[in-house]
């Protein structure tokens, strides 16, 4: 699986196609090795490259070594077990001839070598576990915070809940969690941060729609829309549906939820059904309103646009290695087209909220400034409480960007 990710496949696609053979424990181990190895991808690549005495091994053997190096550095497994099982795995992979090479490389890594550690520390990709172009962009954009952002990108993401205000209150649900032995604390109006992640089946009332899993940063979107009962609201890029659900939990509005991908649009409907909510869900591209719009303007529009995902890389560690620097400009061009299309659908005195889960300024401030320059009627509004547009990833939330645009009456 990791060899295929290295060749360009997404980790999500690989995991979706993997069977559950072996039970929950095997699935947990699979996730641990995939996510853990990819979070250290720059480092384990550099170690193999440095220690290999015969050039690069073939793709399967190299991916096997990445996994083994992650296992060794995680310190959750005995060193002799990792070496032994990795050598045995060569046979299972049909690479019996690589047994000696794999054994020698792993034992070389286990020997204390100050020279190797110094070389790894001097290599930015190995040290920060991000591509060089990604590191350079963050360093230029956030001179004081770039290392912290990179560190967050390699960490385990927090698990945050959004309490459904139509069913219960955050305080009451916090008490239910405590009664179930689940530690959590309140972050915002409806956000509860769990002390540690756990399976959805352990969450009281999850199946009944009392609570959803949604990052605390993502939960900023619905309140920023300033929703009022009876409004027509458009969630233009809605899948998987978390922000759509939060909108409907917040106010009695008529919501249209779009996604260009039919399968992802269907997931929105399933999410709303669990929560007992209803919306007009459509598989449609918001850039082509002539194919789906009824001509009636929207009072509020949420444009949670497709982006690089650089603010949520710890949740999708393959993103860092599958993205290319040229992709950022391509996303920015797509985002500009979405804004231009949606502006025509916004009612006078309406509000449009532009959102990305990116930390790259080219997708955020640059897109907004260009839009405002070519759209004289648009006015950027201050976020409530003087909140910053750019939310950098940290221990409590992922990285997001929010910009509120008013359309004068």
- Alpha carbon distance 164, 152 (integer Å): 28
- The answer, yes or no, to whether the previous bond of 240 is cis (omega within 30 of 0) is yes
Q: How many whole angstroms separate alpha carbon 327 and alpha carbon 307? A: 9
Please name which of 186, 183, 189, 277 lies closest in space to residue 233, comparing C-alpha atoms.
277
Instruction: Tell me, yes or no, if 34 is annotated catalytic.
Output: no
Q: Is the Cβ–Cβ distance between 368 and 358 less than 8 Å?
A: no
Q: Sort residue 276 into left (φ over 0), alpha (ψ -120 to 50) or beta.
A: left
Strand, helix or coil for residue 282? strand
With left for phi above 0 and alpha for psi between -120 and 50, is residue 382 left, alpha or beta? beta
Q: Among 67, 160, 286, 357, which one carries the catalytic annotation? A: 357
* Spatial separation of the C-alpha atoms in residues 39 and 60, rounded to whole Å: 19
Q: What share of the chain is helix, strand, coil (3-state, %, to 5)?
A: 50, 15, 35
Torsion sign over Cα 315, 321, 325, 328: negative
Residues marked as catalytic: 357
């Amino acid at each position: 699986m990791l060899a295929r990710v290295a060749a360009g496949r997404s980790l999500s696609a690989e995991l979706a196609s993997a069977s559950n053979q072996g039970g929950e424990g095997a699935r947990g181990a699979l996730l641990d090795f995939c996510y853990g190895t990819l979070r250290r991808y720059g480092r384990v690549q550099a170690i193999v490259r440095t220690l290999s005495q015969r050039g690069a091994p073939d793709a399967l053997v190299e991916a096997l070594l990445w996994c083994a190096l992650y296992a060794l550095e995680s310190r959750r497994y005995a060193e002799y077990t990792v070496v032994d099982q990795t050598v045995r795995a060569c046979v299972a992979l049909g690479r019996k001839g690589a047994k000696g090479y794999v054994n020698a490389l792993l034992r070389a890594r286990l020997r204390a070598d100050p020279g190797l550690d110094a070389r790894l520390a001097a290599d930015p990709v190995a040290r920060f576990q991000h591509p060089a172009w990604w590191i350079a962009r963050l360093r230029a954009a956030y001179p004081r915070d770039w290392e912290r952002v990179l560190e967050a990108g390699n960490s385990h993401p927090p698990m945050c809940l959004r309490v459904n205000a139509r069913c219960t209150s955050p305080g009451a649900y916090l008490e239910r969690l405590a009664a179930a032995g689940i530690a959590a604390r309140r972050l915002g109006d409806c956000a509860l941060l769990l002390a540690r992640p756990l399976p959805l089946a352990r969450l009281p009332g999850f199946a009944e729609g009392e609570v959803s899993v949604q990052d605390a940063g993502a939960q900023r979107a619905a309140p920023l829309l300033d929703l009022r009962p009876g409004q027509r609201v458009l969630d233009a890029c809605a899948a998987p549906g978390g922000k759509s659900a939060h909108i409907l939990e917040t106010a009695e509005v008529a919501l249209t939820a779009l996604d260009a991908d039919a399968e992802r649009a269907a997931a929105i409907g399933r999410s709303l059904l669990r929560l007992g909510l209803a919306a007009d869900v459509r598989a449609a591209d918001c850039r082509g309103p002539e194919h789906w719009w009824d001509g009636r303007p929207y009072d509020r529009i949420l444009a949670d646009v497709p982006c690089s995902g650089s603010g949520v890389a710890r949740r999708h560690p393959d993103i860092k290695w599958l993205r290319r620097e040229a992709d950022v400009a391509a996303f920015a061009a797509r985002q500009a087209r979405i804004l231009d299309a949606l502006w025509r659908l916004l009612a006078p005195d309406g509000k449009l909220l532009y959102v990305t889960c990116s930390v790259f300024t080219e997708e955020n401030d640059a897109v907004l400034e260009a839009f405002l320059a070519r759209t004289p009627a648009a006015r950027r509004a201050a976020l409530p409480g003087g909140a910053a547009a750019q939310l950098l990833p940290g221990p409590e939330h992922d990285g997001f960007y929010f910009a509120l645009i008013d359309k004068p009456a």
